[in-house]
């Protein structure tokens, strides 16, 4: 089963994707981790690398094309990334995770070890704005459009295990249909 997990920064997509890959014993590809690795390889902070990617679409396209290739090469895989629901139309289950901006900033501050909450909020807003511009410019995608997704889940309300249980219930229903 091909599953995509998407959401804004700090919404918990990587955590849920890893959890699903573990419990389902299937592979995982994460666009966010690839993007972070590329930023680190270039010696840049995420926001700075995002601005570079705004002026050079090859960075996003490289990640997006590679992610789709890997997804289509596997019958069973979890594909995590902001646009994975758009770029893997063949996915059996497409999930969008939602959390409030305040919740996401708190998570990002803890994850990226940012001491100042205002700096974390600013960095998050800049990153989201940069990504929204790139997605619209490069692909004509409005990141706020939920139409490709089968499920929208609130990761602020439910923990990773609970979200995993909800998704596994949906997978069970989908498997019964085939």
- For 145, the domain range is 2-160
Question: Would you list the DSSP string of 114-157?
Answer: -S-HHHHHHHHHHHHHHHHHHHHHHH---TT--TT-SEEEETTT
**51 or 105: whose pLDDT is higher?**
105
Give domain status of residue 100, yes or no: yes
153: CATH: 3.40.50.300
State the DSSP code for 34: H
What's the pLDDT at 178? 78
pLDDT confidence band for 118 (50 / 70 / 90) = confident
Taking residues 107-122, what's their average pLDDT? Answer: 83
- The yes-or-no verdict on residue 93 having pLDDT over 90 is yes
Dump pLDDT digits (tens) for 7-55. 999 999 999 999 999 999 999 998 877 777 778 888 988 778 878 877 8
What pLDDT, on the 0 to 100 scale, is given for residue 25?
A: 97
Residue 54 counted as domain residue? yes
Confidence of residue 2 (pLDDT cuts 50, 70, 90): very high
In a domain, 167, yes or no: no
Q: Distance between CA atoms of 127 and 104, rounded to whole angstroms? A: 12
Percentage of the chain with pLDDT > 90?
56
Instruction: Please check whether residue 169 lies inside any domain of the structure.
Output: no
Beta-carbon-side half-sphere exposure of residue 110 (alpha carbons within 13 Å) = 8
Number of C-beta neighbours around residue 100 at 10 A: 12
165 found inside a domain = no
* Within-domain flag for 148: yes
Arithmetic mean of pLDDT, 87-100: 95
Q: Pick the closest to residue 2 from 65, 97, 60, 80 (CA basis).
A: 80
The reply to whether 103 falls in a domain is: yes
* Number of domains within the chain: 1
Q: Give pLDDT tens digits for 136-173.
A: 988 999 999 999 999 999 999 999 999 999 999 999 99
pLDDT of residue 130: 86
């Amino acid at each position: 089963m091909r599953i995509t997990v998407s959401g804004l920064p700090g919404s918990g997509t990587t955590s849920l994707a890893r959890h699903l890959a573990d419990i389902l014993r299937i592979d995982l590809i994460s666009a966010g981790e690839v993007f972070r690795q590329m930023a680190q390889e270039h010696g840049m902070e995420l926001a700075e690398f995002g601005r570079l990617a705004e002026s050079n679409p090859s960075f996003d396209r490289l990640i997006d094309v590679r992610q789709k290739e890997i997804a289509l090469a596997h019958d069973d895989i979890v594909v995590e990334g902001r646009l994975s629901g758009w770029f893997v139309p063949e996915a059996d289950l497409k999930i969008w995770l939602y959390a409030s901006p305040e919740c996401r900033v708190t998570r990002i501050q803890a994850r990226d070890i940012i001491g100042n909450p205002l700096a974390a909020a600013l960095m998050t807003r800049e990153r989201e704005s940069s990504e929204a511009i790139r997605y619209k410019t490069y692909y004509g995608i409005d990141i706020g459009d939920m139409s490709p997704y089968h499920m929208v889940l609130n990761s602020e309300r439910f923990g990773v295990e609970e979200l995993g249980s909800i998704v596994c219930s949906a997978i069970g229903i989908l498997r019964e249909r085939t």
